[in-house]
A and B are shown apart, each in its own frame.
Chain A
């Protein structure tokens, strides 16, 4: 089968197809096979791939969500712990030391020094009385005696007992946050121990925790203002362009698309006992980078599989339909051959019957006319008129012509037994050439015999073989002009067959005549003594010997008859033949 190009069945059009036309419409069969096979094999593949695609995508998303959640939780714990630790430390100090002791600046400085050393992150420390006056202060700024009574943080600590402030600039115009603890001093009064924390350390804790490049972690207050600097959203106290997430006691994530269409995954957590919300913003496109590769693999696999499957289906369908088509062609050819052989056989039978029936009255005419001639010859009284004897001769001549025709017809459908003997093929050919040697010489026709390979002696009917060869050679001689050429090639064709081909360089046979050359009475030499029986007789004889005869011809270049004969002769069952023909 050709791998590429249009298959043979594609342009097939069966003129003879009747009610079962669709059965023999090969293109439709092919299309049906391709469509059915494609649907059956591709549909499940595409379905499975889509399911797999979506499952994998969901898996990826949930994994990055989980990772974000975990990271946010970790940072939240650290931040919460950081604040809690420092708040506890201050509370501990307020419980341990009395008000008088804390109002002693030297003592307070000593405590701040120790806090700095033990915890780090402390900037200053102050004691504020119930009226909001800072009664004692140690730290880098001059805040002694400042009143905080009207400030929010003081109100809050007054109500709740403890307070962690948002990051704010305050009097010092430096970002800081405040941790304050209210402590009762026994006689119904209270004081507040207040510490300022280093936002530097605080910032570092939040931003430094997110070591990967994929995210941006920062704190905001409940108004959405930045409490630590953000890589994406800028500096401190700026309002971020994101919604402030709803309160939740757990770490949560949500998706958000920015106005410039960047999909974000945001993880957040409210930090307990503080005004802070921890936010971690990640660019989803960058997170899904790994997914993109997997997706490419999945789609690539699908495209590759579909291509391979389609190619295989196309190839298989084409091959199979081509085989069916070729088998069908062989069947049709065989049918035509059998029909043709049957036609020839029945014509032969008819011819034989006619010839035989005519032969008897012909014999009588022959004898009667012969007798009349005899009477003229032997009896003097009839000899007077020379015209009469001329007439009788004419009758006898016509009888002879009729007899020649019936004899040929009978030869065509002869019932003689085949007489089998061992023959040398080349010898038979040479023998037959002997019959025509004179004509060949006279017309200077070149006759060449070529033997290819070794041809063993084989059993066949010598007489019939001679007849076959003689007929073909006579035909060739009739076709070539004087000085022409005839090449006879003997060849061992297969294990069990030999072939003899007769190639002449005569005028050739037109294609429309080529189909009919073996039909009885078909002749192109009607006016020149051709009866149209020669080749049909030859055809019958070759069949009787169990062989085949083929003819190829090109007009103007010549004709080649090839007779193939079996090396093993098998007797043909004429009776069975007769039955099938119905004669």
Chain B
């Protein structure tokens, strides 16, 4: 399972990438939408973890762009804006996607990643 992490906070995504690799999950990280599209062209990613707020373009728009190019790609959103639950499925704009609230609980993220990719570890 290959993951692409997109968030403008480099410190956050780099650390997250490293921690995921400790747990045997291969991940790359970028901080802009342009880099994300570029990276997605090079490697084939199963899941993109997107911050809702990335500079110049929203996470939802980026999702649409990525989805057009890689229809099989799944998405998980990170958000700084909380909801009543730690995560929720579905919203008017995002469709059937996962939302995770920052700060992220890593175990929960991994659990959702597994769920979304069909439990192949």
Q: Do A and B bind each other?
A: yes
Q: Does B82 lie within 8 Å of A406, measured CB to CB?
A: yes
Within 8 Å by CB of A356, from B15, B18, B81, B83, lies B81
Q: Are A356 and B80 in contact (CB under 8 A)?
A: yes
Among listed B38-46, B55-63, B98-106, interface-contacting one: B98-106
Residue B64, interface by CB 8 Å? no
Chain B positions within 8 Å of A352 at CB level: 81
Contact flag A407-B101 (CB < 8 Å), given A356-B81, A419-B92:
yes
A residues in contact with B104, CB < 8 Å: 363, 366-367
Interface membership of A479, Cβ < 8 A: no
Known A414-B82, A417-B92; further 12 A-B contacts with Cβ < 8 A = A362-B103, A363-B12, A363-B80, A367-B16, A371-B18, A378-B22, A407-B82, A410-B81, A411-B82, A414-B81, A416-B81, A419-B92
Q: Is A414 within 8 A of B12, CB to CB?
A: no
Asked whether any CB of chain B lies closer than 8 Å to the CB of A525, the reply is no
Q: In the bound complex, do residue A370 and residue B82 qualify as a contact, i.e. CB atoms below 8 Å apart?
A: no
Residues of B in contact (CB 8 Å), total 20
Rounded to whole angstroms, the CA-CA distance of A463 and B85 in the bound complex is: 11
B106/A370 in contact, CB under 8 A: yes
Are B9 and A363 touching (Cβ within 8 A)?
Answer: yes
Q: In the complex, what's the smallest C-beta–C-beta distance from B101 to chain A, in angstroms?
A: 6
Within 8 A of A (CB), among B1-25: 9, 11-12, 15-16, 18-19, 22
Could you give, for residues 366-401 of chain A, a 1 whenever the CB lies within 8 Å of some chain B CB and a 0 otherwise? 111011001001100000000000000000000100
In the assembled complex, 30 residue pairs joining A and B whose CB atoms fall closer than 8 Å, in A order, are A356-B80, A356-B81, A359-B82, A359-B102, A359-B103, A360-B102, A363-B80, A363-B102, A363-B103, A363-B104, A367-B15, A367-B103, A368-B15, A370-B15, A371-B18, A371-B19, A374-B19, A378-B22, A403-B101, A403-B102, A407-B82, A408-B82, A409-B82, A411-B83, A414-B82, A414-B83, A414-B84, A419-B92, A463-B84, A467-B84
User: Is the pair A371, B83 in contact by a Cβ cutoff of 8 Å?
Assistant: no
Chain A residues, CB < 8 A from B9: 360, 363-364
Structural contact, B18 and A416, CB atoms closer than 8 A: no
**Residue interface mask B53-81, A partner, CB < 8 A = 1:** 00000000000000000000000000011
Minimal beta-carbon separation of B57 from chain A (angstroms): 18
- For A537, the closest partner residue in chain B by CB is B84
